[in-house]
Amino acid sequence: MSVYSYWTQFFPPRNGATYTEDNLPDLAGKVFVVTGGSSGIGYELCRVLYAAGGKVYMLTRTKKNAEEAITRIKDHYAGKDVKTGSIQFIPMDLSDFRNVKAAAQQFLDSEGPDGRLDILFNNAGTGGWKDAPKTPQGDEYHITANSVGHYLLTRLLTPILTKTAATSPKDSVRVVWAASILVEMTSPIGGITKEFLQDPFSEKHAGVLYAQSKVGNWFLATEFSRHQSESGPFGSGVVHIGGNPGSYNTNIWRHVKDLIKYYIVYPTLRDPVYGAYTYMWMSFSKDVTMEEAKAGNYATCDGRWHPGQRADLLLAIKGEQEGGTGRSKEFFDWCEERVKDFVN
């Protein structure tokens, strides 16, 4: 890792975004699922997709927040010469596997037998939260809300993603996984420790728990891309891509101490719309292919490939037969074991 790698993520090139709301293609007929769409990057993403004609499903926890967000989005374009799409709220709490399964089923019921899903944005998550509660299934909160809940949602929506990919241009159906600059700044050696996988409550530091969960999303994107087959449970023809959307002024910082938040973090934060621009590159750029996804390539803010990840993390996404540690696949298998009672 170099100083440049950190610098270019905190301070990306000015006006460097390839895709913005001004040049997004017409999305009429396309269907999108955005988790955590009522605020922050997710809100901006829902707004931009809606304005481009997309059919957007906002999956988030709180009905009041979702309804207020949808009203703001619609009011923003009212009376303007914009051919908008549609936007619909589905309640979902990623920390509760039963709730995730219910949300996935509600989406599938809404789309019906002829439905489609072009892009799933696994965007929602919690920041580092000291003394976070256990989940309803008794699991560690950070890894569940940020990673394993999204793993379950993705597994449940894989059939409709695969069906959409079969009739869509190559590599155009995708799943976008949100990581963070803390993947490389504060995650332990290997990204996720073996001790954590053996006992998730062995790690007490909220910052490390958060960083590991974001490493987990990169690992899951890589492994989902590699595990696809025509008849297997992980789908086929769907590109999964992980990356750091950037650092933004959103409510993910609500559990962070004020001293750190206001005097260290805030000066580096940007408007969350730029995070949506990063997601748009991950979603629509022809530079993002199945080959890049299988290789574990990692996107970063405003829409670029990362200039060079930590060596131990690159070893983690390689199997032992390739000279790596195999930790990425180990985490993927760990998630499958965690949700096995909810995928059928």
The one catalytic residue among 210, 248, 277, 298: 210
Backbone torsions φ then ψ of 174, nearest 5 degrees: -140, 160
- How far is Cα 106 from Cα 216, in angstroms, rounded to an integer? 26
- Pull the structure tokens for residue 87: 């936007």
DSSP 269-316: -B-THHHHHHHHHHHH-TT--HHHHHTT-EEETTTEE-S---HHHHHH
Residue whose C-alpha is closest to residue 300's, from 183, 194, 196, 219: 183
Q: How far is CA 69 from CA 108, 115, 162, 271, 284, in A?
A: 23, 25, 30, 17, 24
Active site annotation includes 83: no
Please tell me what DSSP assigns to residue 78: T
Spatial distance between the Cα atoms of 268 and 259, rounded to a whole number of angstroms: 14
DSSP β-ladder status, 304-305 and 298-300: antiparallel
Instruction: Answer yes or no: 214 catalytic.
Output: yes
**Catalytic residue, candidates 30, 55, 101, 214:** 214
Active site positions, annotated: 210, 214
